[in-house]
A and B are shown apart, each in its own frame.
Chain A
Amino acid sequence: MTIERPGRPPGDEPEQRHDGVPDGQVVSVAGDPFPDPGLPAHEPRPTDVDEHAGRRAERQVATLFGLSSVFAILWVVVYFAVDLKGNTATLFGAGAQNLLLGVCLAGALLCIGVGAILWARKLMSDVEIVEHRHAISSSEEDREVALGEFDQGVRDSGIARRPLIRNSLLGAMATLGLPAIVVLRDLGPLPGDVLEFTVWKKGVRVVNDVAGNPIKPADMEIGQLVNAEPELFFETDANGEPLFEGTKLLQAKAKAAVILVRMKPEDIQAPKGRENWGINGILCYSKICTHVGCPISLWEQQTHQLLCPCHQSTFALGDGGKVVFGPANRPLPQLPLMIDKDGYIAARSDFHEPVGPSFWERG
């Protein structure tokens, strides 16, 4: 067993219990209203005294373990016999194979688990054992010896007497932090000013984001909202390769996604200087929320409000995209529009401010 040391470990003052009695006394502590009656006598279980009950428990446990094997074999049968196809179609979308494999695995595991616990509860000795606690702390001598050994080691090293060594070592260790930090430099490029711009520029058509079809003002009804993108995302270069694909496409999209809405012109109160950014009540706003960057897509036709499904910032599109509710602070950036020579809606320039969530250098 554990070593018991009498008394309290040193350095642990005050030693008094709040009721003024030293720790370590158990029976009949002065001031405590009731003395410790001591552990109650062990009460035997049916399986302790009745051999029949014991054998029955034994059979129960063995049956559970046996059932576990049955489930495990069933699992193998299901694995080979039940088709994986249509795994989402059946049974709450769980899939027939998934469901049967899961139930068989659960059966195999639970039978072992329940059997083992039953074995412990019914058949293993349930006589409680008393183990004394050892003091958590070391003895005072041990501590002194340890401290002494440490001091001796420090003295032998001479680190205290030779500060030159100590200081230069500390300096060397600190300097070593530089490579450790600098090596992380190439984790990514510096932000530079890329957050300030998107791929929109004068003449880039605003196209629908599914098929890339350009849009004429007459195509849009009052109250309609179109999820749109720059036509660049659907264009190819001289070799027939897409201009944007993979990560480059996602990065450009994360800033350039827009929504195109048409309202009655009288419902629009354009902010100063933006009076001619729309076309006959068609306005274009960034789709990226100014809160933390979710694409905003819930359009309330009657109120001309756009709601972000992530944190419910609400923007009034008839009112310069300003925030009417929720945690966002800045209005949605607006994209100035024009009609190109073929009569399609196009951007007149890039956004006049950075899109998406705020950042320190944004100003």
Chain B
Amino acid sequence: MSASANGRPQRAPRRAAKSSKPNPLAGIVNWADERTGLAAMSKTQIRKVFPDHWSFMLGEIALWSFVVLLITGTFLTLWFHPSSAEVTYHGSYDQLRGVKMSDAYASTLHISFDIRGGLLLRQIHHWAANLFIAAMFVHMMRIFFTGAFRKPREINWMIGMTLLMLGILEGFAGYSLPDDLLSGTGLRIADGLVRSIPVVGTYLEFFMFGGQFPGDEIISRLYAVHILLIPGLLVALIGAHMLLLVYQKHTQWPGPGRTNDNVVGYPMLPVYAAKAGGFFFTVFGVSALLGGIMQINPIWMYGPYDPSKVTADSQPDWYMGVPEGLLRAMPGIETHVGGFTISWNVFIPGVVAPGLLFTVMLLYPFLEGWITGDRREHHLLQRPRNAPTRTAFMAAMITLFGVLWAEGGNDVLALVFHLSLNDITWVARFAIFIGPAIAFWVTRRWCISLQRQTHTELLHGYESGVLMRSPEGGYAEKHLPLPIERAYTMTANDRDHVLPMPTEEDENGVANRKVALMRLRARLSRFWYGSAIQKPTREEVEEAHAHAAHELEIHEDGHQHLSEGEYEGDYEYDGTPADGHQYDGRHGIDESKLRQD
């Protein structure tokens, strides 16, 4: 490890080799290394550096809640019977004794009422599932807003999106297993979605359910999917996700000494071993607390599944909000052609639209990369304001999610707020299109305004909170230059580069290929960077400082000013008078209580 430019200590010297006392682990290490050769790899990984920021913890919540799911889920399999066979309940829950139900439902009641800690583990499992998916959502947004999906991390983005989608399917499969009235209703809707697929719908439906809905196969099949197929895929993809993370090293925020070519942070052992290990217990502990004090999915209150019954306020788990909201908002359109039916009112919201949204998100890094033409490696994160269009895109997606989420609970909203259900649905039908558009526009302008503010601070300093009064009686707030560390951090981003409009022919008169496509790309690129503010150049900064100094000089000519030697600051950065704040430097600031103190 070479010393860095600033001469800070890089790494404690390795002592183990020179130690006179033999390392007590040496025997084990030798044994293992002679069989696996792992020491060569471990020597670089044991003290691997990870950068520190609270937002890097979001993916960790997802990881640890997945581990909690594996532990609690394994526990639940010890008693759960994935069977549709009809049994008569004889357990300790009075209200359902003597009722005929599926073995799956009866065994879930058994876990809840006759196994000590069973209800707790069931509730931890359900809470952890919600936490798992919520954490993946938030982690995905963090990655998106900071541009962490850019080259070389596009593959990990796609793995992550696949994990999110699998997690949602896994959640659906999981809450369908108890075969209570609510989960059966969810399956009935899934049946309707599958059936709506043109041409093969009924065949898929009959193969999925082993005959007519509800059949007697779906619970055992979902069980195999829920405890083997999807968890297997999740484990494999999480493994790949982590391996790529370790190989590519974590991204970091720019800052003094933090560049695109290094990682600054704490070592895996001991700091992250303790922090991440401790965080696993924290996530597990929070899940346990939720499972202990907050009831979730009280299946005994719903009763066994009966296809002729349903309760009001039937609602899927929150992460199904997108298809649920779409299903409710979609107008009832069907086409009947040549003796066949296409059920657009189910097929579009249930199959096409969610698939389309997922595909766009899955391929997003490539879409943005194509528009910007950026093929460089990025290891530094971007402030969301410095990518206004991207930030606005995600704001639009979040708005769409929110609208659909609300529409997915339109009956509950109508009840709670005493509104007309029909009005809510009509509002949602328009808001699905208008809401994201407004969010996009507002967010983009907002980002650009924030960029302007940064720009102003860099050129003219920050507002110090010190009010100055001129001899004429005018008041102005004193501006002070940003500390150099902060100024550097705020300008560590790259400049945007709008792609030039292609010409029909190149300079040698040879016709350029795909001109129309390249024109579209140039137009998109212009739209993408829009009126985003670029960081100032060195000349602009120097000019601003010179301008401020000049104004001060003018003032000094006319009025009482600092006597020789009274001002000890550096005019280059410190105490530089700024445009419109020509009183800067007339008074010392050491005594003043500044806003940033």
Residues of chain A having any CB pair with chain B under 8 Å: 1-2, 12, 14, 17-19, 23-24, 26-27, 31-42, 79, 84-85, 87-88, 91-95, 97-103, 105-110, 112-117, 119-121, 124-133, 136, 184, 187-191, 194-195, 209, 227, 229, 245-247, 250-251, 253-255, 257, 287-288, 291-298, 307, 309-313, 323, 325-330, 356-363
Q: Number of A-B pairs whose CB atoms are under 8 Å?
A: 400
B282 engages A110 (CB within 8 Å)? yes
Residues on the A chain within 8 Å of B376, using CB? 12, 17, 23
A-B contact pairs, 20 of them (CB 8 A): A19-B495, A33-B458, A33-B535, A35-B488, A37-B484, A91-B293, A92-B293, A113-B281, A128-B264, A129-B49, A130-B262, A133-B262, A190-B206, A191-B202, A195-B212, A250-B305, A294-B189, A297-B309, A309-B314, A329-B333
Closest to B206 in A: A188
Please tell me which stretch of B4-12, B131-139, B222-230, B470-478 contacts chain A, meaning at least 4 of its Cβ atoms lie within 8 angstroms of it: B4-12
A39 engages B44 (CB within 8 Å)? no
Q: How far is the CA of A191 from the CA of B341 in the complex (A)?
A: 16
Distance in angstroms from B425 CB to nearest chain A CB is 7
Residues on the A chain within 8 Å of B411, using CB? 309, 312
Please tell me which stretch of B141-149, B265-273, B385-393, B580-588 contacts chain A, meaning at least 4 of its Cβ atoms lie within 8 angstroms of it: B265-273
A18 engages B198 (CB within 8 Å)? no
Fill in one digit per residue for B243-265: 1 if any A CB lies within 8 Å of its CB, else 0: 00001110000001111111111
Distance in angstroms from B560 CB to nearest chain A CB is 34
Please tell me which stretch of B167-175, B283-291, B398-406, B435-443 contacts chain A, meaning at least 4 of its Cβ atoms lie within 8 angstroms of it: B283-291
Q: How far is the CA of A85 from the CA of B327 in the complex (A)?
A: 41
B488 engages A18 (CB within 8 Å)? no
B193 within 8 A of A: yes
B464 within 8 A of A: no
A360 engages B257 (CB within 8 Å)? no
Q: How far is the CA of A245 from the CA of B270 in the complex (A)?
A: 62
A113 engages B278 (CB within 8 Å)? yes
Distance in angstroms from A83 CB to nearest chain B CB is 10
Residues on the B chain within 8 Å of A110, using CB? 281-282, 285-286, 289
Distance in angstroms from B76 CB to nearest chain A CB is 15
**Could you tell me which residues of chain B, from 367 to 383, have a CB within 8 Å of some CB in chain A?**
375-377, 379
Closest to B326 in A: A327
A114, A195, A327: which has the most chain B beta carbons within 10 Å? A327
A250 engages B214 (CB within 8 Å)? yes
Closest to B198 in A: A360
A246 engages B292 (CB within 8 Å)? no
Residues on the B chain within 8 Å of A109, using CB? 281-282, 284-285, 288
B49 engages A37 (CB within 8 Å)? no
Decide yes or no: A131 and B263 within 8 Å by CB, A191-B206, A253-B308 being known contacts.
yes
Residues on the B chain within 8 Å of A132, using CB? 1-2, 261-263
Q: Report the 5 A-B pairs with minimum CB-CB distance, sorted nearest first.
A: A102-B292, A292-B192, A116-B278, A38-B6, A39-B257
Distance in angstroms from A190 CB to nearest chain B CB is 7
A102, A110, A194, A328: which has the most chain B beta carbons within 10 Å? A102
A98 engages B202 (CB within 8 Å)? no
A246 engages B295 (CB within 8 Å)? no
Residues on the B chain within 8 Å of A120, using CB? 270-272, 274-275, 278
Decide yes or no: A293 and B213 within 8 Å by CB, A26-B259, A326-B425 being known contacts.
yes
B590 within 8 A of A: no
A88 engages B279 (CB within 8 Å)? no
Distance in angstroms from A249 CB to nearest chain B CB is 8
Decide yes or no: A360 and B342 within 8 Å by CB, A309-B310, A329-B333 being known contacts.
yes
Fill in one digit per residue for B201-227: 1 if any A CB lies within 8 Å of its CB, else 0: 111011111111111110000000000
A245, A307, A329: which has the most chain B beta carbons within 10 Å? A329
B162 within 8 A of A: no
Decide yes or no: A124 and B271 within 8 Å by CB, A38-B257, A39-B4, A195-B212 being known contacts.
yes
Q: How far is the CA of A298 from the CA of B414 in the complex (A)?
A: 14
B92 within 8 A of A: yes
**Could you tell me which residues of chain B, from 99 to 115, have a CB within 8 Å of some CB in chain A?**
112-114
Which of B213, B308, B340 is within 8 Å of A287, CB to CB?
A: B308
B44 engages A1 (CB within 8 Å)? yes
Which of B300, B336, B410 is within 8 Å of A312, CB to CB?
A: B410
Decide yes or no: A117 and B330 within 8 Å by CB, A294-B188, A295-B310 being known contacts.
no
